[in-house]
Amino acid sequence: MPLVLVRTVSGLEGLAAEEIAAAGHRVVDVSKRQLVVEASDELLSRPPRLADDLFVVRDAVPDPGRTKAGLQSVALSAQAAGPFAVSASFVGERNFNRYDVEDQVGAALGGVYHSRRDGARPPAQRSEWRVVLDGKTMWIAERPYEAPLHRRAWRQRTVVGSLHPPVAAAMAKLARIDAGMRVVDPFCGAGTLLVEAQAIAPDAQYLGIDRRPEAVAAARANSALRFRVGDAARLIGTADRILTNPPWGVRLGVGDFMPYLRAWRRVLAPDGLVVALLSQEQTALLSPDWTVHEAYDLSVAGQHPRIVGLD
Ligand SMILES: C[S@@+](CC[C@H](N)C(=O)[O-])C[C@H]1O[C@@H](n2cnc3c(N)ncnc32)[C@H](O)[C@@H]1O
């Protein structure tokens, strides 16, 4: 069984591990932003939707520790073929930087190495290697795909604030959508949440709504699901699920958020559930009208939003 590194958004490690275990693979280690999985080829052909990216392990040696001398003494047996680039990360304090790791590994792997030091862009035709020093192990792994997993083939267009697809997939998983359910995103933007939900639950009915025609046009370019311009006010009591990420901060001030919360209550069917990605400030407005059943704090693109499951 090949070992695979699955990289995740910070905060989604546990949910991604559940998805992978449910598909019959053994998760052997969970750390910040990373799972180590004993995987069959099926994991590569049906990759997890909650994963940010996935790499097949080609080598694993003890983490060389803090010093540059330790890093330089690492001996690797893996070999790269053709043009390749390396991207490295580590936990903890080190007396070297990511480029030192990348160049060291790049030189050791043979092939035609393209360094990212000094901002150089590697050529489009290359293999991509990932190095992670997690405090115990130095993992050297290769992406078996041309593009990162989070880059979805369906995504032709985005809008300001478009969601990272693996985060949308995690929210869709938490929504527990059954066949026939009516699922509404009242702030649909380019449709990311509903498209990812449909991939998990294809037999539900999806409706995306946004007040901006440009957003609805982007959603329609991405998917044949139903999207319309406007608001959700007319859908009284009809939504089994509301799956959404409203804008945060200046684009929808905290004070302006309360009417939307009241609208969600009207739109939601009696046994309905909301799964939303909210800012910390928006989350503070939920009490006492909403019960938060689950919450996942994320760290994504420098922001710290929270996925909440509510009713
Ligand atoms: C954070 S974006 C949603 C992004 C979407 N999940 C995606 O992945 O593309 C929020 C969306 O809410 C829409 N919006 C902002 N204020 C709104 C309002 N008052 N009513 C309805 N939609 C609104 C914006 O046009 C924007 O497309």
> Is the bond into 166 cis (omega within 30 degrees of 0)?
no
Residues 173 and 301 reside in one and the same domain: yes
pLDDT of residue 281: 86
Within a domain: 261: yes
Residues 138 and 220 reside in one and the same domain: no
Residues 112 and 192 reside in one and the same domain: no
Within a domain: 72: yes
pLDDT of residue 253: 55
pLDDT of residue 303: 85
Residues 80 and 170 reside in one and the same domain: no
Residues 106 and 176 reside in one and the same domain: no
From CA 245, how far away is CA 196, in angstroms rounded? 14
Residues 135 and 178 reside in one and the same domain: no
CA of 277 to the centre of ligand 1 (A): 12
pLDDT of residue 119: 87
pLDDT of residue 181: 98
pLDDT of residue 252: 54
CA of 200 to the centre of ligand 1 (A): 22
Residues 169 and 228 reside in one and the same domain: yes
pLDDT of residue 247: 85
Within a domain: 133: yes
Beta carbons of 274 and 241 less than 8 angstroms apart: yes
Residues 243 and 183 reside in one and the same domain: yes
**Residue 200: DSSP 8-state:** H
Ligand 1 atom closest to 190 (CA): 9
Ligand 1 atom closest to 248 (CA): 1
pLDDT of residue 251: 55
The token pair at 242 is 């509301």
Within a domain: 156: no
pLDDT tens for the chain, residues 1 to 311: 789 999 999 999 999 999 999 999 999 999 999 999 998 888 999 999 999 999 999 999 999 999 999 999 999 999 999 999 999 999 999 999 999 999 999 999 998 999 999 888 888 899 999 999 999 999 999 999 999 999 999 999 999 989 999 999 999 999 999 999 999 999 999 999 999 999 999 999 999 999 999 999 999 999 999 999 998 888 888 999 999 999 876 555 556 888 889 999 999 999 999 999 999 889 988 988 999 999 999 998 788 999 999 99
Domain count within the chain: 2
Residue range(s) defining the domain that contains residue 41? 3-142
Within a domain: 263: yes
pLDDT of residue 135: 94
Within a domain: 152: no
Within a domain: 150: no
CATH code (residue 196): 3.40.50.150
From CA 259, how far away is CA 14, in angstroms rounded? 33
From CA 50, how far away is CA 68, in angstroms rounded? 35
Ligand 1 atom closest to 163 (CA): 8
Residues 110 and 183 reside in one and the same domain: no
